[in-house]
Amino acid sequence: MKNLVQLAVTAALAAGATAEMGHQRHAHMHRHRAVNVPAADVVEKRAPAVTTVVTPVETKYVYSDGESVNAAEAKECIENGECLVVGTSTPTSTTAATTKATKQAAEFFESKASSSTKTSTTSTSTSTSTTSTSTSTSTTSTSSTSTTAAAASTSAANSTSGSGSSSEFPSGQIPCSHFPSDYGAVAVDWVGLDGWASIQTTGSWTPGVSISDIVEPTSGGCTSGSFCSYACAPGQTKAQWPTTSQGSTGQSIGGLWCNSDGYLELTNDNFNTLCMDGLGGISVENQLSDVACVCGTNYPGNEMMNIPLVTQPGGTYTLTNINAKTAYQWEGKYTSGQFYVNNAGVSEEQACIWTSSEYPDSAGNWAPVNIGAGTDIYGVTYISIFPNTPTSTAQLDFDIEITGDITSECYLKSGSYPDGSTTGCTTALTSGGSCTIVFKPSS
């Protein structure tokens, strides 16, 4: 199967065309299966539909290797199931579009990445408390290598205690039984994994070697031979994932490594902390009379929507603005953030989980609406609002409007998007600007 990328380029004679990401799921997405859940009850994740409303554009296609393809051939290839739409782009202005096309924020990856730059970072946000749910795929390991930490014999009582997300994590000195909230990790206890967002057991890990077999337990804690992922505070994102060893068939793997001695090791040489700050500039304001939960995707990891942002009435919160230059790259492609917006009154335990026991058709993976957000390698921040189709048919019970320093209007009011679109809207921040995603009662 070939992968297609949509390019939105300015066209002097084109009537305001819309570039829309196809409903086919991304090539790297994999089936999530929970233990003891019948196969018929498992629904695959999919690539969200995203609409771009900017200047008049012409939609063109290229294969992911750069080879161009005409629209008719691309359409036929997609309809025959031989091609998958894996990315889309939108010009930032009429001038910029003639020299480069940059991707709108929607879900996960965009263009081919260049070699990454090593950075040592500290973050400023503090941690809070949350939880995660895991799923399962396959089993076993690849090659073997487990770094024996110099302080492997150090007990939890003797190890250095962190003082928040700015603390450098002492690799190899913290027992896997200790959830590192003192180093900025946020526990998601409702998932049933002792606070971890996901646990991916591979048995062994050799940096540079892809991992073919991954088991994802749905209960218990972080054990030897596992990658243990975690949430971070609002405005931050996870800084640890194995940069040179990912799933051999496109699975994403994230978190700390629990070595054979039972101690947690850093997996990303670029960072010595567990969390890193996003680029800021995006806030969420709750003008409703009830709580509204926004659940980010645990990525890289099991890709479940279990990273919580719980907005209370009258509150304003930072939404994590992913920096493509430093964030996880999927098969060399830059990534952005995806967030699931649940109806008002749904608790984080029912919202930030794959399947909600109370709202099985309208929360978690079936939440009504998605938000995409991130800043590309050119420094352009994109924000999208779009329906969670085809997974969910649920309708959001409040309105969303993006206000502030944005290039075009983007909202969801009484079920409608700008210009009558049914597939959503995308806008961008003006240079140096900021915006607020406002949750308000339906008009």
What are the pLDDT digits (tens) for 309-337?
999 999 999 999 999 999 998 888 888 99
Residues 300 and 433 in one domain: yes
Q: 369 and 224, same structural domain? A: no
Residues 6+ apart with CB under 8 A from 8: 17, 19, 52, 54, 57, 58, 59, 88, 89, 90, 91, 97, 101
Same domain, 193 and 322: no
pLDDT at 84: 53
Residues 29 and 7 both lie in one domain: yes
Other CB atoms within 10 Å distance of the CB of residue 79: 9
Q: Is the domain of 155 the same as that of 215?
A: yes
Neighbours of 244 (CB within 10 A): 12
Beta strands in 159-229 (DSSP E): 174-175, 187-188, 198-201, 226-229
**What total number of domains does the chain contain?**
2
Angstrom distance (rounded) from CA 199 to CA 209: 19
Residues listed for the chain? 443
- Among the candidates 214, 241, 276, a domain finishes at 276
pLDDT score at 176: 98
Q: What is the pTM of this model?
A: 0.69
Question: Which tokens sit at 328?
Answer: 């996880």
The reported pLDDT for the residue numbered 85 is 52
* Per-residue model confidence (pLDDT) at position 79: 62
Distance from C-alpha of 274 to C-alpha of 135, rounded to nearest angstrom = 23
Tokens of 232: 């971070």
Q: What pLDDT, on a 0 to 100 scale, did the predictor assign at position 398?
A: 98
Q: What percent of the chain has pLDDT over 90?
A: 55
- Domain termination site, one of 276, 302, 321: 276
Q: Determine the Cα–Cα distance for residues 411 and 398; give it in Å rounded to an integer.
A: 11
146 and 97, same structural domain?
A: no
pLDDT of res. 95:
29
Choosing from 252, 276, 300, the residue where a domain stops is 276
Q: Tokens 């101690």, residue?
A: 263
- Shared-domain flag, residues 309 and 258: no
Q: Which domain holds residue 186?
A: 122-276
Q: How far apart are the first and last CA of the chain?
A: 45
Exposed/middle/buried for residue 309 (C-beta within 10 Å: 0-12, 13-18, 19+): buried
For residue 68, the model assigns a pLDDT of 64
Same domain, 245 and 299: no
**Claim to verify: residue 257 and residue 393 sit in the same structural domain:** no
Is 74 within 8 Å of 83 (Cβ atoms)? Answer: yes
Residues 149 and 200 in one domain: yes
Same structural domain for residues 297 and 441? Answer: yes
* Residues of the chain with confidence (pLDDT) below 50: 3, 5-59, 64, 86-159
Residues 252 and 299 placed together within one structural domain of the fold: no
